[in-house]
A and B are shown apart, each in its own frame.
Chain A
Amino acid sequence: DTEVTQTPKHLVMGMTNKKSLKCEQHMGHRAMYWYKQKAKKPPELMFVYSYEKLSINESVPSRFSPECPNSSLLNLHLHALQPEDSALYLCASSRTGLGDNEKLFFGSGTQLSVL
């Protein structure tokens, strides 16, 4: 199984809502990533977890809260988002996060719309 599964595929939320994005992989990978991709733009790194510890936070606003409950699961909790947060949120995993040449396996993303 070389899949990274993201749910939901689409999400519409109001600015006062709380929602969560979920990402799961069963490849035994120990590094997981959240990227944000606006239309016609490249993916921008948000967070990196390695061995269930948050390694990198790219100065992401606190209304985005990542969580890695175990090595297979990655969540992104959303609260009080702004319309400009509407984007495709991509999850990825790699073997350990400790090598500079690891292949990233991407999910198909959650398309988020904030009204």
Chain B
Amino acid sequence: AQSVTQLDSHVSVSEGTPVLLRCNYSSSYSPSLFWYVQHPNKGLQLLLKYTSAATLVKGINGFEAEFKKSETSFHLTKPSAHMSDAAEYFCVVSAPASGTYKYIFGTGTRLKVLA
């Protein structure tokens, strides 16, 4: 069965320093993986997705993620954190079910950006 594990529940960085949010996946085949962001009192927004076309995926707002099959990882990075990046980040994997697909969320990582 497909699943994702987010290794850190909280990450704190200073503004202008790099961001690393870690996600490991478990899948019996090459999965589709996603990162979503949830700002306080706002809906969820897709940052980027991996669909096997390229292992390095660029997303919105300067975020990118690299799919590493050997490490079963899909870590999210950003070279320089901005105050507006403070939010909850979810790693998501899709899984087939009943002729369609369901999207399974990891436990989330809360990113705090310090001034």
Is A45 in contact with B45, judged by CB distance below 8 angstroms? no
Is B46 in contact with A97, judged by CB distance below 8 angstroms? no
Among B94, B98, B102, B107, the most chain A Cβ lie within 10 Å of the Cβ of B102
Interface majority SS on B: helix, strand, loop or mixed? Answer: strand
Q: Which residues of B contact A58 (CB under 8 A)?
A: 102
Is B100 in contact with A56, judged by CB distance below 8 angstroms? yes
Q: Pick the residue among B42, B43, B51, B100 that contacts A98 (CB under 8 A).
A: B100
Q: Which residues of A come within 8 Å of B, CB atoms?
A: 4, 31, 33, 41-45, 48, 50, 55-56, 58, 90, 92, 97-104, 106-109
- List 15 A-B pairs, Cβ < 8 Å: A41-B108, A42-B106, A42-B108, A43-B44, A43-B105, A55-B97, A55-B100, A97-B101, A98-B99, A100-B31, A100-B96, A102-B101, A103-B49, A104-B44, A107-B43
